[in-house]
Amino acid sequence: MLEIKNLHVDLEEEEKTILKGVNLTVEAGKVHAIMGPNGSGKSTLSYVLSGRDGYRVTEGSATLEGVDILAMEPEERAAAGLFLAFQYPVEIPGVGNMTFLRTAMNAQRKARGEDEISAADFLKLVRAKAKTLKIDADMLKRPVNVGFSGGEKKRNEILQMAMLEPKMCILDETDSGLDVDAMKLVSEGVNALRDAGRGFLVITHYQRLLDHIKPDVVHIMSDGRIIKTGGPELALEVEKNGYADILSEVA
Amino acid sequence: MMAAPQAKMTANQEYLAGLHLPDGATWATAARGAALDRLRAMGLPERRDEYWKFTRPDTLTQAEAPRAALFDNGDEAEIFGGVERLRIVFVDGVFDAEASDDLTLEGVRIERLAEAGQSDIHWAKDTYGVLEERGQTPVARPLAALNTALATDGVLIHVMGAVSKPINLIYVHKSETSDAILHNLIKLDSGTEVTVLENGPAAARFNKVMEVEVGDNATFHHVRTQGRDHERRAATHIFARLGAESAFKSFTMTANGVMTRNECVIELTGDDAIAHVAGAAMGDGDYHQDDTVFITHDAERCESRQVFKKVLRNGATGVFQGKILVKAGAQKTDGYQISQSLLLDGDSQFLAKPELEIYADDVACSHGSTSGAIDEDALYYLRARGVPKSIATDLLTLAFLAEAVEEIEDEGLREEINSRLEGWLVRRRG
């Protein structure tokens, strides 16, 4: 599904290398988790994959189903099936949540040569999906993320994911700012989307999210590289002993 | 040193000296004469005038109107076409009876100034030019005095009861050299309500005054668009006086136009009155649009709102001069003023002069003015969800304008304006 090879990335504005040769393959149907200390490059990886400005790829590649995504515009990557659930979802005053969702959905469909969804079908779909995420009608009507609590913003991200049905989902610290109940709700939303055709890359600091979204593979990232890969037990090891042991073991 | 010989008259002085009132004596003659005297005393606006610091008055004051090419709106449907309304059409400032509806409407008396002027006695005699004159202090507005002196047509609207539909003044531009002057006078009796719609470029150069006397408990709604012609010029004035518990709500959309100066002068003279003035301006290239607003609070517990948003690209210029004057005794005044520009490139500019002058001690007034570009984070977020850059930019631009458009109470009219704003953006998509 997602194949990252020897990816090197610099910051555009300053001479600083963030990713120093990331290798990672996420297969369809699998959930991969990336853990790592602050500043290891986890969020940069998610931004580079989704096409945010400000980064320069100096070496390596990233492909989605064999297609080079690094050459694409952010909207083309989305239409190709890539979805990033933001760590900090952006507030957009003046744009209604529903308008935003429908515009996004139809833009993706159009880019893929599909028919637009009718207003009635869209409404039915969004209401059903919103209900399972406990998103009420008022939240759907309000401007995108404006005045939303931390938990509401993350649930809104998952709603977008559920509506857009991407092939490859990247979750960037979706657990940050969530209380236990919200984490459960968000995880259930993610788990409902797990299927054989879809890949997940879950970026997190903490093991606790992985209690709810059970990963198949866990990677440890440090200083711009994946330094260790293992099964779910690797996350438990981090939880117990911190990153120090793993870092020293690799060094 | 010897006294300098008498200075040669400037072009403006010469022009003023040569002006004469419209022929024929009517009830309006005295008001016109007084206005001409006012105008001669204050002189035409000059570039050095503080009030014209950001907008060059010369093309608005020169004797002959600069030529303005006609603009083809293509197959775009007439604005407000979906609204059941009474249409009154002026072509280059000349009434078009053929294109207009019959001026009869329940609850309101509508007359043309040209016709009403023929009688000796008329309700408008005590009103014509009165609010314009009041609006000349503390700041002179010579082009409005010129209008009162020289206008021979326009509409007189006296609202006496329930009115079933909006009155739509349509200003068509058909001559490249037309120089139109129209003076509209609107009086709302106590407890009445009316909606006045205006649209169209009007002429190569248009000087328009609208005086609105809003009686106690009356409500005046006003939605205006100024056409899409690029080369037309306009200097417009609204003068309004508000009675107790009355409301005045005006929205203007200005898309294109090489020169537009829209002045709005409002006096809140009755307690608990509300005045909302809003504008959405969109300019591309050779565009200069100026909103100059002066709101005087002279009664207790009144509320005023000024919401002006401008989208500027390719070197367009937007101007905002807005003042809230709170007189002594106007306690519990609630005044709000915001002017913002969205600069879509580095060549465009927004010049703003927000002012507060307060002589009462128990008031809440706030004002803010900003200039900014499209929010890059919001743009990236939209794109990351699959919305192409051009559509995302338009969506964010409409969102920027939304606060002004939302000042229009009627949903149908709001939609109509939104669709025009969107159309303007869509035509400019890369």
ipTM rounded to 2 decimals: 0.95
Partnered with residue B90 across adjacent β-strands are B95, B171
Measured N-to-C along each axis, helices A97-111 and B389-405 cross at an angle, to the nearest 10 degrees, of 160
Q: Check: CB of residue B221 under 8 Å from CB of residue B196.
A: yes
Q: How far is A249 from chain B (nearest CA, A)?
A: 38
Q: How far is A74 from chain B (nearest CA, A)?
A: 5
d(CA B86, CA B90): 13
Residue among B377, B378, B395 minimizing CB distance to A103: B395
pLDDT digits (tens, 9 = 90+) for A130-167: 998 888 888 999 999 999 988 899 999 999 999 999 99
Q: What is the pTM of this model?
A: 0.92
Q: How far is A240 from chain B (nearest CA, A)?
A: 36
Contact flag B386-A95 (C-beta cutoff 8 Å):
no
Count other C-beta atoms under 10 Å from residue A113's C-beta: 6
Q: Does A117 touch chain B (CB under 8 A)?
A: no
d(CA A23, CA B396): 37
Residues of A with Cβ-Cβ distance to B392 under 8 angstroms: 75
430 residues of chain B, pLDDT tens digit each: 455 556 677 888 899 999 999 988 889 999 999 999 999 999 999 999 999 999 999 999 999 999 999 999 988 999 999 899 999 999 999 999 999 999 999 999 999 999 987 777 889 999 999 999 999 999 999 999 999 999 999 999 999 999 999 999 999 999 999 999 999 999 999 999 999 999 999 999 999 999 999 999 999 999 999 999 999 999 999 999 999 999 999 999 999 999 999 999 999 999 999 999 999 999 999 999 999 999 999 999 999 999 999 999 999 999 999 999 999 999 999 999 999 999 998 899 999 999 999 999 999 999 999 999 999 999 999 999 999 999 999 999 999 999 999 999 999 999 999 999 999 999 998 6
Q: Does B400 touch chain A (CB under 8 A)?
A: yes
**Chain A residue whose CA is closest to B396:** A95
**Chain B residue whose CA is closest to A102:** B387
Residues of B with Cβ-Cβ distance to A79 under 8 angstroms: 386
Sign of the alpha-carbon torsion through B121, B124, B129, B131: positive
pLDDT digits (tens, 9 = 90+) for B45-94: 999 999 999 999 999 999 999 999 999 998 899 999 989 999 999 999 99
pLDDT band at A177 (very low <50, low <70, confident <90, very high): confident
Residues of A with Cβ-Cβ distance to B380 under 8 angstroms: 51-53, 74, 90
Contact flag B380-A74 (C-beta cutoff 8 Å):
yes
Count other C-beta atoms under 10 Å from residue B7's C-beta: 7
What is the percent of chain A with per-residue pLDDT over 70, rounded to a whole number?
A: 100
Residue A26's H or E segment, with its range, is strand A17-26
pLDDT of residue B2: 52
Residues of B with Cβ-Cβ distance to A104 under 8 angstroms: 382, 385-387
